[in-house]
Amino acid sequence: MTRNTPLLRASAVALAACAALWAFFVWRAPIDSMQGPIQKILYVHVPCVLGAYLGFGLTALTGALYLWRREERFDRFSAASAEVGVFFCTLVLLTGPIWAKGTWGRWWTWDLRLTLTLLLYLVYVSYLLLRSFTEGSERAARFSAVYAIAGLAVIPLNYFAIDLAGGRTVHPENLGRGSLGAGMGAPFALGMLTAVAAFAYLLVRRLEVGTLRAELDRLEAETARSEA
Amino acid sequence: MNALLAVLWKDLVSEWRSRDRLVAMGVFALLVVIILYLAAPPGAGAEARAHVPGLLWVAYLFAGVLGLNRAFATELENEALSLLALAPVERGWIFLGKALASLLLLLVVQAATALAFALAFGLDLWPVAGRLALVATLGAAGVCSVGTLFSAIAVRTQYREVMLPLLLLPLLVPVLLGAVRATNALLLEGTLPWPALQLLLVTDGVFAIVSFLTFEVVLDE
Amino acid sequence: MSFALRTRGLEKRFGPLVALHPLDLELAPGAALAVLGPNGAGKSTLLRLLAGLARPSAGTIEIESRARSRVERRRNVGLVGHATFLTPTLTTRENLLLAAKLHGLAAPAERAARALADEELEGVAERRAGALSRGLAQRAAIARALLHDPKLVLLDEPWTGLDARAAARLSARLDAEKRAGRTLVVVTHDLGRVVGLAERALVLARGRARWLEAAALLDETALAAATADAVARMESAR
């Protein structure tokens, strides 16, 4: 059973509040004249992008901190952040094509941001596979931290690479001033906030699992040793 | 520096004795050329030519990964890796020695493959040979730097042959795109675009630095 | 007073498992320490920490009266592990040459030749290391470990797999190195070899350590009894 720690309760409350507000504003937001109702999926898509990149940034950062300080809590945070981040990344890759099919008529294009996020997803998955397939939690921690750092370094490189290959075509340019219709600003902003809240909540829960699992590993190791 | 040369010497001598990596990479690249030739219709002239740079780099990448998979194979026996780990030097130098050895092998295979490609697809590479070699070297350097780092990691995981390409390929996108772009321009227009070169140089630099610095922890127990 | 090796609070954790609880030890130059105990006790971990192959989770290691960086420590330590660390595709001579180069020794070829001579390996100098018998490979490993003239020599179960003659040879070599002023730390199950070589003994069990009385090292029976006793005490004190 999950322990109902204060942190968990606080993040749950924050998430509930943000989500409620956000849902309200999304429901109330005007329907886009050009794209139709499908445009509303963007209120999910864009915040998820934030979650995906935030997740990886945190994974790499805490990985580096682990290598520097060798404190296990950094490694646990890194692992948790990666799992939560990959969840958001999956949502991006699911909601994106749905929106694309609704507006451009195609499920997938190799444009800059889509490709970049797809590559991020692959790095995430490789990171998680590396963690699973390395024996020894200390070694897994070290290896995955190194990989996360390399992965983070490659994100800007990928951006320029795809741009070079001519990928700057289909994706709508970012929300410049006034490009959003009236009534769309609030749901977007709240969406970002909700994404952060959701990320925090999931992270806290995942961290708890991580701590419990570490405790279980320790007990198992002690038992194994006493039987040896 | 001594350590770099020592490791380089060791790898090259070992390779010269058995030649297994070189042969494996070479044969594999040749097979890729043949298969690509059969799969991609060459008779279509300019349109087919447009695909050649990409195909060439696919062959290079696969050969590179194959070679890197074996980079630490000899070190697994008798825990020879520990000998390197015991050296009283910053382990980044060990990394450089290993990466250079892989790079030299890959360069040889790249040259042979380019020749095979030229024959198979009827290309005249002479006018751009020098610059093509430069692009090939920059690309190979990117592959071998991060590739050596991940090879050292993968060799201590389960499913190591699968692990290396999984880890490596998503990170090689900048190298691949830059190299293909540059090769494309060379073959089709005879020019070497600066943005592509720049991307390759920056990527190589970033990868080399990250790999050099993190190799220390990778060789730990 | 100067010492050859000193650790303070040396600890190693692998994730949740404590492989080595905080350990303090101090060895004078020319001393020999035997590290005993059951499998999985943390003996190899201790050696690898001392050799600089693994990073301590906590604590310090000092060699020759100074806390040194890991790189410097590796310069002053020689390790003979379970495996020989020899590259199978290189000849014996080349393996030693490689070790000499990695240590940045001046005139590496001569040092390698001398190391070969010290272990009487000239006969197999040009044989591939992969083709050496266990006994010869172990001698090559010892030559490799002593090549760079380390102050501290660590050996992990070095008598394993050696026949009586080779084992006696090894004991003689270690004795000679001791007299030459090197400090030894030897992990072994072969209690008979310990007697007469080591003046001190440390028993490890489940990552914890216990020193043995000097009297225990007088003969094999006493040593076996003292070791068993120490292990039993540590395992019951949970």
- The tens digit of pLDDT for each residue in B109-151 reads 999 999 998 888 888 888 888 999 999 999 999 999 999 999 9
- Cα separation, B149 vs A151, whole angstroms: 13
Chains that touch A (3 or more CB pairs under 8 A): B, C
Strands C32-36 and C183-187: parallel
- Cα separation, A122 vs B66, whole angstroms: 20
A175: confidence class by pLDDT, cuts 50, 70, 90: very low
Residue B104 pLDDT greater than 70, yes or no? yes
The B-side interface with C (CB below 8 A) comprises: 2-3, 5-7, 9-10, 13-14, 17-18, 74-75, 77-80, 82-90, 220-221
Mutation target among B173, B184, B221 for the A interface, most CBs of A within 10 A: B173
Q: What is the DSSP letter of A173?
A: P
Q: Are A168 and A112 in contact (CB under 8 A)?
A: yes
Show Cβ contacts of residue C96 under 8 Å, excluding neighbours closer than 6 positions: C111, C112, C115, C116, C140, C143, C144, C147
Residue A188's pLDDT is what? 79
CA-CA-CA-CA torsion sign (C220, C221, C227, C230)? negative
More confident residue, B27 or C238: B27
Q: What is the DSSP letter of A32?
A: B
In tens, the pLDDT along B182-201 reads 998 888 888 889 999 999 99
The answer to which of A51-60, A214-223, C175-184 has the lowest mean pLDDT is A214-223
A163 touches chain C (CB under 8 A): no
Residue C238's pLDDT is what? 57
Instruction: For C160-190, give the DSSP string.
Output: TT--HHHHHHHHHHHHHHHHTT-EEEEE-S-
Residues of chain B positioned with their CB less than 8 A from the CB of C85: 78-80, 82-83, 86
Residue B44 pLDDT greater than 70, yes or no? no
Q: Are A194 and A47 in contact (CB under 8 A)?
A: yes
- Cα separation, B180 vs C181, whole angstroms: 61
- Cα separation, B183 vs B137, whole angstroms: 12
More confident residue, A220 or A89: A89
- Cα separation, A203 vs B173, whole angstroms: 30
Q: Model's pTM, two decimal places?
A: 0.90
Give all strands (DSSP E) within A98-147, no chain letters: none
C16, A70: Cβ pair inside 8 Å?
Answer: no
Residue C11's pLDDT is what? 93
Residue A27 pLDDT greater than 60, yes or no? yes
Residues of chain C positioned with their CB less than 8 A from the CB of B90: 71
B207 touches chain A (CB under 8 A): yes
CA-CA-CA-CA torsion sign (B206, B169, B110, B127)? negative
More confident residue, A40 or A61: A61
Residue A221's pLDDT is what? 76
Residue A169 pLDDT greater than 80, yes or no? no
- Cα separation, C77 vs C47, whole angstroms: 10
Residue A167 pLDDT greater than 70, yes or no? no
**Mean of pLDDT over chain B:** 90
Q: Are C185 and C35 in contact (CB under 8 A)?
A: yes
Residues 15-74 of C with CB under 8 A from B: 48, 51-55, 71-74
Residue A160's pLDDT is what? 87
- Cα separation, C37 vs B217, whole angstroms: 29
What strand order describes the sheet that includes C200-205?
C77-80, C152-156, C183-187, C32-36, C200-205, C208-211
Phi, psi (5° rounding) for residue A94?
-90, -45
- Work out the average pLDDT over A173-196: 67
CA atoms within 13 A on the CB side of B134: 14
A149 touches chain B (CB under 8 A): yes
Q: Would you state the torsion angle of the CA atoms of residues C92, C95, C100, C101, taken in this order, to the nearest 10 degrees?
A: 140
B205: confidence class by pLDDT, cuts 50, 70, 90: very high
A60: confidence class by pLDDT, cuts 50, 70, 90: very high
Residue C139 pLDDT greater than 90, yes or no? yes
Give all strands (DSSP E) within chain C, no chain letters: 5-14, 17-27, 32-36, 58-63, 66-67, 77-80, 152-156, 183-187, 200-205, 208-211
- Work out the average pLDDT over B65-81: 90
Instruction: Encode A47-83: b = buried (16+ Cβ within 10 Å), e = exposed.
Output: bbbbbbbbbbebbbbbbbbbbeebebebbbbbbbbbb
- Cα separation, A18 vs A197, whole angstroms: 7
More confident residue, A172 or B83: B83
Chains that touch B (3 or more CB pairs under 8 A): A, C
C87, B17: Cβ pair inside 8 Å?
Answer: no
Stated length of chain B: 221
- Cα separation, A146 vs A53, whole angstroms: 18
Residue C99 pLDDT greater than 70, yes or no? yes
Distances (CA, A) of A15 to A6, A23, C37: 14, 12, 54
Residue B215's pLDDT is what? 95
Residues of chain B positioned with their CB less than 8 A from the CB of A161: 173-174, 176-178, 199, 203
C98, B10: Cβ pair inside 8 Å?
Answer: yes
Q: Three-class SS of residue A141?
A: helix
What strand order describes the sheet that includes C58-63?
C17-27, C5-14, C58-63, C66-67
B173, A162: Cβ pair inside 8 Å?
Answer: yes
Mutation target among C87, C95, C153 for the B interface, most CBs of B within 10 A: C87
Residue C130 pLDDT greater than 70, yes or no? yes
Residue A97's pLDDT is what? 87
Q: Are C33 and C201 in contact (CB under 8 A)?
A: yes
Residue A1 pLDDT greater than 50, yes or no? no
Q: Are C146 and C183 in contact (CB under 8 A)?
A: no
- Cα separation, A50 vs C176, whole angstroms: 67
B167: confidence class by pLDDT, cuts 50, 70, 90: very high
The answer to which of A217-226, B63-72, C200-209 has the lowest mean pLDDT is A217-226
- Nearest residue, CB atoms, A137 vs list C14, C39, C235: C14
A177: confidence class by pLDDT, cuts 50, 70, 90: very low
- Nearest residue, CB atoms, A228 vs list C15, C40, C55: C40
- Nearest residue, CB atoms, C16 vs list A70, A218, A228: A218
- B126: amino acid identity, one letter: W
Helices (H), chain B: 2-18, 20-39, 46-69, 73-76, 80-86, 91-121, 129-154, 160-171, 173-189, 194-218
Give Rg (Cα) of chain A. 20
Residue A4's pLDDT is what? 65
Mutation target among A128, A131, A137, A146 for the B interface, most CBs of B within 10 A: A146
- Residue C95: count other Cβ atoms within 10 Å of its Cβ: 32
Residue B66's pLDDT is what? 93
B212: confidence class by pLDDT, cuts 50, 70, 90: very high
- Work out the average pLDDT over A189-205: 87
A130 touches chain B (CB under 8 A): yes
C88, B74: Cβ pair inside 8 Å?
Answer: yes
- Let me know the angle formed at the C-alpha of C94 by C90 and C98, rounded to the nearest 5 degrees: 105
Please provide the distance, in angstroms rounded to a whole number, between the alpha carbons at the two ends of chain A.
31
Residues of chain C positioned with their CB less than 8 A from the CB of B215: none
Residues of chain A positioned with their CB less than 8 A from the CB of B201: none
Q: Are C87 and B74 in contact (CB under 8 A)?
A: yes
Mutation target among A121, A159, A162, A164 for the B interface, most CBs of B within 10 A: A164
